[in-house]
Amino acid sequence: MGIVKSGGVIISAKDSGETSRLVEVFTEQYGLLKVMAKGARRSKSRFGAATEPLTYIHGVYYLKEDSGIASLSAADIVFPFEKIRGDLEKFSYGSAWAEFLLGNLPPGEAQKPLFRQFLMALKTLENVNGDQNEKFFWAYLLKFISLLGFRPEFSICAGCSVVHSKDWMFSVENGRLYCDKCSRSLRDSLFIRLDTGENRVLSAFINSDSDVLSRLTVTRRQMKIVKEVIEGLRKYHTAGDGELKSLNFIHRVSKDNID
Ligand SMILES: [Zn+2]
């Protein structure tokens, strides 16, 4: 308790009282912190820009013994992620990551590998061309799900260990893959059929970094199945079985494109 310092990303922000802002910060050292930024909405506040969602700050926090809410004593912006914040599609994807993390991070518990992966995700989203946004959103969401303790397996059959099969069945329930032959003897209502290409994309999403992923081509048809698998895993194995509200904008835009 007392004064602590840590890098962190603002993952939610709402107004509090006349001039303050209550934010939730995913910090590297202390995990999720609920923080009151007093006077942050005053025009001359030193906290104004530093408490905007998806801003990477270095903060000094005063943790109080008796309440779950820390107070912000100082904040420097390390990186503002301007391109994400200035682009509705990128901002929707970044906000959906934040929404997912907010629902799944245990408060006050450091999650360093996940924090680093989240920063990498934001840096990637900040820099890639718009046509790559969707691919990276789903790839990093899958990495987050894995780092939260549920790591699916996409490379070998869980029944007989073969690595080659014409078709695969993926079980959302246990996160394992079954070859054509093994899946015939199993009944699982949460099976999703994958071909070798879709399977390879999911494997790359888990195992490859942004550099490798930027060269990975994912067809529209593959993307549809891959999203179904990742959404299945998220809803079945993590908190929040509903839709990610931050993706509403994306859904609306893609519907408009079809009409
Ligand atoms: Zn098998």
pLDDT per residue rounded down to tens, the chain (259 residues): 699 999 999 999 999 999 999 999 999 999 999 999 998 998 888 888 999 999 999 999 999 877 789 999 999 999 999 999 999 999 999 999 999 999 999 888 999 999 999 999 999 999 999 999 999 999 999 999 999 989 999 989 999 999 988 889 999 999 999 998 898 888 766 799 999 999 999 999 999 999 999 999 999 999 999 999 999 999 999 997 789 999 988 888 776 665 4
Measured CA to CA in angstroms, residue 234 lies from 49, 149, 228 at distances of 32, 12, 10
Find the radius of gyration of the CA atoms of the chain: 20
Expressed in angstroms and rounded, the spacing between residue 199 Cα and the centre of ligand 1 is 15
Strand, helix or coil at 231? helix
* Backbone angles phi and psi of 67, in degrees to 5: -130, 155
pLDDT reported for residue 45: 85
pLDDT reported for residue 256: 67
pLDDT reported for residue 60: 97
pLDDT reported for residue 206: 95
Expressed in angstroms and rounded, the spacing between residue 153 Cα and the centre of ligand 1 is 13
80, two tokens: 């503002």
**What's the rounded Cα separation, in Å, for the pair 60 and 74?**
5
What is the CB neighbour count within 10 angstroms for residue 248?
Answer: 12
Expressed in angstroms and rounded, the spacing between residue 65 Cα and the centre of ligand 1 is 54
Expressed in angstroms and rounded, the spacing between residue 164 Cα and the centre of ligand 1 is 9
Expressed in angstroms and rounded, the spacing between residue 206 Cα and the centre of ligand 1 is 21
Which domains, from first to last, does the chain contain?
2-130 (2.40.50.140), 131-258 (1.20.1440)
pLDDT reported for residue 90: 97
Residues lining ion ligand 1 (Cβ < 5 A) are: 157, 159-160, 179, 182
Half-sphere exposure of 108 (CA within 13 A, CB side): 12
